[in-house]
């Protein structure tokens, strides 16, 4: 067993991550309990103790509070499963206590009478989580699986199995630096399992300033190929420059839209911002009500340059924003208006409204 203290102080980017989770759970639970009669699963493979040193709730507690605190879910769950795995006995014991408090006035053991099966197991995420999902007959039904590792990721075979399960989604957090520090990675084989092959090892040949970005791009590709129709990924950056990379995989356009809404509805989290890994300017965005759309403008300009004189319609650009950036479709028109005002793009009529970049490809930086 590890000698690190349990619980531990919360990191700034964990605060922001929890804020995104809280928003997303508040959207996911009502949709799923409505559409599947509550016969769905929320699971975590790296659950933690459910609390941090100053009493902040951990992700399993946030999930339970969101589920039972919302009237819209309460009448509907008939067979909801909440399944948690952690390999540290201290986390398992403390998590049980914290969930017992969070479920009040109903005791944890009584949750089953309300249609919620809750289980916490001590074990390695692989294979314990898969077995637990089998034991509770979760396969074949929708699931949201949170895999919050310490940074080192999770074997791809588990992610692939979740991707093949109907209406299932994953939220994975990794720290690209873990893989960028190639020589220090405890086990190169672990990296091969996470990326599903040895291609990631190329990171050792890259200059140090390109390693983390390459890891992110490669991992995004790996998750998409695992079988998810849509992948949203972004970094949470704290004011010390520490990055937590979050990848969300879903098969549903609506899931993607809801996750984006969740991201942009989060209240200000002091000292933490978002970064779109695709933004050529690598700008960190404050988490605020009126988000800064400068990176979106850069991304739209790049997309328009790539299309050349043919240009793109607003609809095409909205689709591009949804699938290829961290921004929402609704943020496209204000960004286009700002680009028009600056003279960076042109609008053509008649016919479908098309935009073309005013900056020729060779002038772009
Ligand atoms: C980043 S923390 C989880 C935080 C939690 N999801 C939250 O947001 O509040 C990672 C947890 O994974 C556990 N862990 C690390 N390696 C594991 C493994 N291979 N299998 C299961 N649990 C593991 C650690 O004990 C730790 O509690």
Q: Give the mutation target among 1, 47, 49, 84 for probing the ligand 1 site: most ligand atoms within 8 A of CB.
A: 47
| Atom 12 of ligand 1, residue of closest alpha carbon | 46
Please tell me the distance from the alpha carbon of residue 57 to that of residue 135, in angstroms, as a whole number: 28
Atom of ligand 1 nearest to the CA of 17: 8
Please report, for residues 78, 83, 319, 320, 344, the alpha-carbon distance to residue 293 in angstroms, rounded to integers and kept in the order given: 42, 38, 16, 15, 15
Atom of ligand 1 nearest to the CA of 88: 25
* Percentage of residues in the chain having pLDDT higher than 70: 92
Question: Using 50, 70 and 90 to split pLDDT, how confident is the model at 225?
Answer: very high
Q: Please say whether the beta carbons of 333 and 352 come within 8 A.
A: no
**What would the two tokens of residue 344 be?**
């960076």
| Atom 2 of ligand 1, residue of closest alpha carbon | 48
12-286 CATH choice from 3.30.70, 3.40.50, 3.30.2020, 3.30.450: 3.40.50
Question: Using 50, 70 and 90 to split pLDDT, how confident is the model at 79?
Answer: confident
Interval 156-185: pLDDT, tens: 999 999 999 999 999 999 988 888 876 566
Stretch among 18-22, 40-44, 46-50, 213-217 having the lowest mean pLDDT = 213-217
Q: Find residue 84's DSSP bridge partners.
A: 44, 120
Average pLDDT, the chain: 88
CATH 3.40.50 residue spans of the chain:
12-286
| Atom 26 of ligand 1, residue of closest alpha carbon | 48
Q: Give the mutation target among 1, 86, 194 for probing the ligand 1 site: most ligand atoms within 8 A of CB.
A: 86
Q: Please say whether the beta carbons of 125 and 83 come within 8 A.
A: no
Interval 278-330: pLDDT, tens: 887 787 777 765 677 889 999 999 999 888 888 889 999 999 999 989 898 98
Classify domain 294-363 by CATH number. 1.10.10.10
Please report, for residues 25, 69, 70, 75, 223, the alpha-carbon distance to residue 30 in angstroms, rounded to integers and kept in the order given: 9, 11, 8, 11, 26
Q: Find residue 43's DSSP bridge partners.
A: 83, 145
Average pLDDT over residues 218-243: 91
Question: Using 50, 70 and 90 to split pLDDT, how confident is the model at 365?
Answer: very low
| Atom 4 of ligand 1, residue of closest alpha carbon | 48
CATH 1.10.10.10 residue spans of the chain:
294-363
Please tell me the distance from the alpha carbon of residue 37 to that of residue 361, in angstroms, as a whole number: 52
Average pLDDT over residues 181-198: 82
Average pLDDT over residues 242-255: 92
Which letter, b or e, does each residue of 188-223 get, where b requires 16 or more Cβ atoms within 10 Å of its Cβ?
eebbbbbbbeeebeebeeeeeeebbebbbebbbebb
* Percentage of residues in the chain having pLDDT higher than 90: 56
């Amino acid at each position: 067993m590890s000698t690190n203290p349990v619980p531990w102080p919360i990191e700034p980017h964990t605060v922001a991550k929890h804020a995104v989770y809280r928003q997303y759970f508040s959207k996911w639970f009502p949709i799923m309990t409505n559409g599947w009669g509550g016969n769905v699963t929320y699971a975590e493979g790296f659950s933690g103790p459910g609390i941090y040193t100053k009493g902040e709730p951990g992700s399993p507690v946030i999930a339970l509070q969101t589920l039972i605190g919302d009237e819209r879910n309460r009448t509907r769950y008939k067979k909801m499963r909440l399944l948690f795995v952690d390999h540290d006995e201290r986390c398992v014991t403390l998590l049980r206590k914290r969930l017992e408090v969070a479920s009040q006035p109903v005791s944890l053991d009584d949750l089953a009478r309300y249609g919620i099966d809750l289980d916490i197991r001590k074990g390695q995420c692989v294979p314990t989580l898969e077995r637990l999902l089998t034991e509770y007959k979760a396969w074949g039904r929708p699931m949201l699986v949170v895999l919050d590792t310490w940074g080192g990721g999770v074997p791809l075979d588990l992610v692939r199995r979740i991707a093949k399960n109907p209406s299932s989604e994953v939220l994975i957090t990794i720290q690209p630096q873990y893989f960028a520090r190639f020589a220090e990675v405890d086990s190169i084989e672990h990296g091969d399992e996470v990326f599903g092959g040895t291609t990631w090892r190329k990171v050792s040949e890259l200059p140090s300033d390109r390693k983390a970005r390459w890891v992110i791009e490669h991992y995004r590709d790996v998750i998409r190929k695992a079988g998810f129709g849509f992948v949203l990924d972004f970094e949470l950056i704290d004011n010390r420059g520490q990055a937590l990379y979050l990848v969300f995989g879903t098969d549903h356009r609506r899931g993607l839209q809801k996750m984006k809404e969740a991201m942009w509805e989060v209240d200000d989290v002091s000292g933490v911002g978002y970064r779109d890994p695709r933004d050529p300017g690598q700008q960190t965005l404050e988490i605020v009500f009126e988000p800064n759309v400068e990176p979106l403008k850069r991304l739209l300009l790049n997309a328009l340059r790539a299309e050349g004189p043919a240009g793109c319609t607003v609809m095409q650009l909205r689709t591009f924003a949804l699938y290829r950036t961290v921004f929402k479709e609704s943020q496209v028109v204000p960004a286009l208006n700002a680009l028009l005002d600056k003279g960076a793009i042109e609008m053509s009529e008649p016919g479908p409204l098309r935009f073309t970049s005013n900056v020729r490809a060779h002038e772009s930086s």
